Amino acid sequence: MTPKSNTRESFGPQIAAPANPSPTHPMRWSLQRELWENRSIYLAPLWAAGIGLAGFLIHLLAKAHSLAGLDSAHQQLELTVPYMLVAALIMGAAFIVSIFYSLDALYGERRDRTILFWKSLPVSDVTTVLSKASIPLLILPFLAFAIVVATIIIMLPLNAIALSGTGLSFSQLWNSLGLWSSAKMLLYHLVTVHILWYAPLYAWLLLVSAWARRAPLLWAFLPPLIISLFEKLAFHTSYVSTLLLGRLGTVSGASEGTGAPLMPSPQFMPDRFFFTPGLWIGLLVAAGFLALAVRLRHQREPI
């Protein structure tokens, strides 16, 4: 046998054996695609943080010198409320982005006909829908938490500088805020409410986005409203509206463990929350909505 044939036999199997791609790559690249195509996912919370910082600076200039003349209770209120408002502003911006993103996620690719290109790639409909569902259910809540923490880190030294001429110490500010416990409560609120409790809402919006041929916003909110009004007129009951408002977090029973925690609570109640039947029923409904969205995405053509 010649050296040439030996060389071919020794290197041939190495050239012919391709590397097996990781099964996580389609999901990772799908998520990167969503972040690249939808910059409002991170720009809107960042803009909210910037607006909150601007309002905080104006508040410091207007109120810093008057803090020394207040009693301890009012001092604590004046010190903590701006931080709560900035956190609420960032979380609210992330929630609004989640709603509009979910409504446009599957509808937009049919409207601009890019669905033909994306379906030509080796990415399944399941991966595509799950990657889009991950934005409101995972990416945006944790991104909002990170932006809130970063914004508070910027606010603290500014607040300390403003308090230096009032006789109040930084330790008083730190003790009033209770940042460690507040961060834990905020993270608990984001996981329980914005991820788990709102999962059926986002899944419903993705289903409407996959089904609607036009005006997905109208189709998402008009049918539940009509059903609620019909129930009230026909049967003089309000079970549907109560269910919907409870899912949106406006039910008073939340403090008793029958609904979602509306705002970060001084006490963690995971035992009550995770044993709430409505939580698990909602997650099953969300799974059903996502399965239907996958099926519709496979069947639907460009608009």
Q: Would you state the pLDDT for residue 61? A: 79
Distances (CA, A) of 1 to 4, 5, 9, 10: 8, 7, 11, 13
Q: Would you state the pLDDT for residue 27? A: 87
Q: Would you state the pLDDT for residue 260? A: 40
Identify which of 191, 220, 202, 193 has the alpha carbon closest to the alpha carbon of residue 286. Answer: 202
Q: Would you state the pLDDT for residue 130? A: 94
CA distance 200 to 24: 25
Question: Which two three-digit tokens encode residue 236?
Answer: 């003089």
Q: Where are the domains of the chain?
A: 39-299
pTM: 0.81
Q: Would you state the pLDDT for residue 67? A: 62
pLDDT in tens, the chain (303 residues): 444 444 444 444 444 444 454 555 888 888 888 999 899 999 999 999 999 999 988 888 777 666 655 556 666 667 778 889 999 999 999 999 999 999 999 999 999 888 888 888 888 899 999 999 999 999 999 999 999 999 999 998 888 777 776 666 667 667 777 778 888 889 998 999 899 999 999 999 999 999 999 899 999 999 999 999 999 999 889 888 888 888 876 433 333 443 443 344 434 667 788 888 888 999 999 999 999 999 999 888 887
CA distance 91 to 85: 10
Q: Would you state the pLDDT for residue 53? A: 94
